[in-house]
Amino acid sequence: MPCEFFTLQDFMTYTKGITYILMLVSLCAITGFWLFLTERDTDEPHHHSK
């Protein structure tokens, strides 16, 4: 069920609050994902697959 809001202030406080938490989680998650993605990178300019 959606939350009931009686004022725009309530709605903005609620949605912005959730968004800020998500932003924090995203920043950590994307950093982790970047490390996962580049973990096996070498410094060689050219990579060759098998």
Partner 1 sequence: MSDEKSLSVNKALTPFNMVAGIILLIGMVITILRFTGGLAAVSNLTDDNPWGIWIGFDLLCGVALAAGGYVTSAAVYIFGLKRYHSAVRPAILTGFLGYALVVFALHYDVGRPWRLPYPFIVQQGTTSLLFEVGACVALYLTVLFIEFTPAVMEWLGLKRARTIVVRLTMLLTIFGVVLSTLHQSSLGALYLIAPSKLHPLWYSTYLPVYFFVSSIIAGLSMVLFESTLSHHYFSHKMDKTHLAEADNVTLGFGKAASLVLAGYFTIKIIGIAIADNWHYLTTGYGAWFLLELLGFVALPCLMYAVGVRDRNVKLIRWTAGWTILGIVLNRLNISLIAFNWQLPSSQRYVPHWMEIMVSVFIVTIGILIFRFIVTRMPIMYEHPDYHSH
* Residues in 1-50 at the binding interface with partner 1, rule: CB under 8 A: 1-3, 11, 14-16, 18-19, 22-23, 26, 29-30, 33-34, 36-40, 45-50
DSSP 6: S
Tell me the site size for partner 1, rule CB under 8 A.
27
Question: Phi and psi of 40, rounded to 5°?
Answer: -100, 10
Half-sphere exposure of 50 (CA within 13 A, CB side): 0
Residues that bind partner 1 in the complex, under the rule CB under 8 A: 1-3, 11, 14-16, 18-19, 22-23, 26, 29-30, 33-34, 36-40, 45-50
